[in-house]
A and B are shown apart, each in its own frame.
Chain A
């Protein structure tokens, strides 16, 4: 275990209490809505915000007693914070210089890192001459130049436009795979988290609500926030064999167990009918259309009824069925398309 921390930060009207572990060579993503305490947690790890309680240990040594400048960390900030008065090369050489490495050697290390992130040709450029994606790579090189044991990334892709983001994300993934220390990444974007992280820690309101591999979290969301992120309809209820009572609706599932349970299904699994369908599928309920909006190539229909749900249908279906807000329709989900798991 490289990083083992319990971060407690108490502020008026906000408490962060978070246990966090990260192994060598692994990327842990802190995922959560704005104000969940992600950045606070990262700043506490870096030593930029004081801990109110808890501990941070890195490879068995306590870290929380050290000031920021003595911690073996590298940090990439959300808007990179490259020093505007220094060239890209000198920005990267800054860390080694602070560690007492000679000027020539620091620059050699910096040049090597810039080469590694594909910016050898921009060594002399000032930060304002760099594009967003380039600045992000310089910031990463600068953080790696101090040979950190723990790499901290604060929303590393948030400042980029959608087009650049795609390319920078895959590059970042490669660089993180090469890094042999532990990485903690903060993001509010589920896609960034899924692509970049080995493990997700979802926090809401300063506490962990769910953690696991990206696959686990995506398949078995445990809060509405996570369900929304991964695009699933999620209900909590009581399981009784192959049925889950989610309050107002008995959902038939393929899993068999008893006790408190979650049921999740994809919006694309929901079928919509104008009148009660024949052969009556087992999960059938009557709902009112709350709203209709474009969602990628499909149309997302908001349903209100015994349960609220999203249904994704094709634009052609919207035209055929004449789906408009306020309309009463029938909705159904096959038992095989639902997924139930213990709460």
Chain B
């Protein structure tokens, strides 16, 4: 009774990917990949996703630590707020970013007058949009790892004279490193595929803000074959990530 819908569900998930592989223009693939605008989009995507992930690590790991280790009033509320970007439509995130960081935005206005910095429609804007959408993945993963870690090791470090910062750097962080790595990979993958917030906040300018997902969407109208090739690249990246994290997610306990 349950097998039929189960198989249908599996087919529904797998068939589109199979279609992508079947329709791929394998013969012209290398030439297509070498086209300058493809390479440009690929490079921009990789760079912005990597920078966004690095920034997320800098801000997200301390945030995760705060949520996991420090008791403060309103902690539950803060945790809920952190997860909002997970469920928020990315386009809405982009609009929100524009309202705050745009040229007429609350913070953006000040950034421009004080530092002459404008974020929207720049590569920095792409990074900001990707961070906004991807950071919750990192925070949740790291917070989970921190909660799972045995805090008595931190106590042991304290009895050896380690300050809170040393404890974090030399004991806590190394012990939750698998969780941090998994969170970073997840965060990077989410940043790489980011579309809605990016196109809303950073626009679609070749070379500066046109990342892979934007290029796929655009190419679909003009040259579908190029869209398929770009999609294949993103699919390949996803498969690699899945393979890298298989022990964490795919294996059954």
* CB proximity of B172 to chain A, nearest CB, Å: 10
Binary contact readout A60-81 vs B (1 if CB under 8 angstroms, 0 otherwise)? 0000000111110111010001
Q: Give bound CA distance, A67 to B160, whole Å.
A: 12
Interface flag for A285 (CB, 8 Å): no
Instruction: List residues of chain A with CB within 8 A of the CB of B174.
Output: 83, 85
Q: Give bound CA distance, A67 to B159, whole Å.
A: 9
Contact residues on B (Cβ < 8 Å of other chain), bracket: 10 to 19
Q: Give bound CA distance, A143 to B175, whole Å.
A: 21
Q: Give bound CA distance, A69 to B166, whole Å.
A: 11
Binary contact readout A127-153 vs B (1 if CB under 8 angstroms, 0 otherwise)? 000000000000000110110000010
Task: Say yes or no: A74 contacts B162, CB within 8 Å.
Answer: no
Interface flag for A99 (CB, 8 Å): yes
Identify the closest chain A residue to B156 (Cβ): A81
Interface residues of A, count at CB 8 A: 25
Task: Say yes or no: A48 contacts B161, CB within 8 Å.
Answer: no
Instruction: List residues of chain A with CB within 8 A of the CB of B218.
Output: none
Instruction: List residues of chain A with CB within 8 A of the CB of B170.
Output: 94
Q: Give bound CA distance, A85 to B163, whole Å.
A: 19
Interface residue ranges of B143-186 to A (CB < 8 Å)? 150, 152-153, 155-163, 166, 170-171, 174-175, 177
Instruction: List residues of chain B with CB within 8 A of the CB of A8.
Output: none
* A77-B152, A81-B152, A81-B153 known; A68+B159 contact, CB < 8 A: yes
Task: Say yes or no: A48 contacts B158, CB within 8 Å.
Answer: yes
Q: Out of B155, B163, B171, B175, which one reaches A48, CB within 8 Å?
A: B155
Interface flag for A306 (CB, 8 Å): no
Instruction: List residues of chain A with CB within 8 A of the CB of B155.
Output: 48, 68, 81
Instruction: List residues of chain B with CB within 8 A of the CB of A68.
Output: 155, 158-159
* A69-B162, A69-B163, A83-B171 known; A94+B157 contact, CB < 8 A: yes
* CB proximity of A32 to chain B, nearest CB, Å: 21
Q: Give bound CA distance, A146 to B158, whole Å.
A: 12
Q: Give bound CA distance, A133 to B53, whole Å.
A: 44
* A77-B152, A85-B175 known; A95+B160 contact, CB < 8 A: yes
* CB proximity of A41 to chain B, nearest CB, Å: 15
* CB proximity of B102 to chain A, nearest CB, Å: 45
Q: Give bound CA distance, A68 to B159, whole Å.
A: 6
Q: Give bound CA distance, A69 to B164, whole Å.
A: 9
Instruction: List residues of chain B with CB within 8 A of the CB of A67.
Output: 158
Can you list 20 contacts pairing A with B, beta carbon distance less than 8 Å?
A: A46-B159, A47-B159, A48-B158, A68-B159, A69-B159, A73-B159, A74-B160, A81-B150, A81-B152, A81-B156, A83-B156, A83-B157, A83-B174, A83-B175, A85-B177, A94-B160, A142-B160, A143-B160, A146-B161, A152-B159
Q: Which 8 A-B pairs have the closest CB atoms?
A: A95-B160, A98-B161, A81-B156, A68-B158, A75-B159, A85-B174, A98-B162, A69-B158
- Could you list which residues of chain B lie within 8 angstroms of chain A, going by C-beta atoms? 150, 152-153, 155-163, 166, 170-171, 174-175, 177
Other than the given A98-B157, A143-B159, 7 more pairs (CB < 8 A) read A69-B162, A77-B156, A81-B150, A81-B156, A83-B153, A83-B156, A98-B163
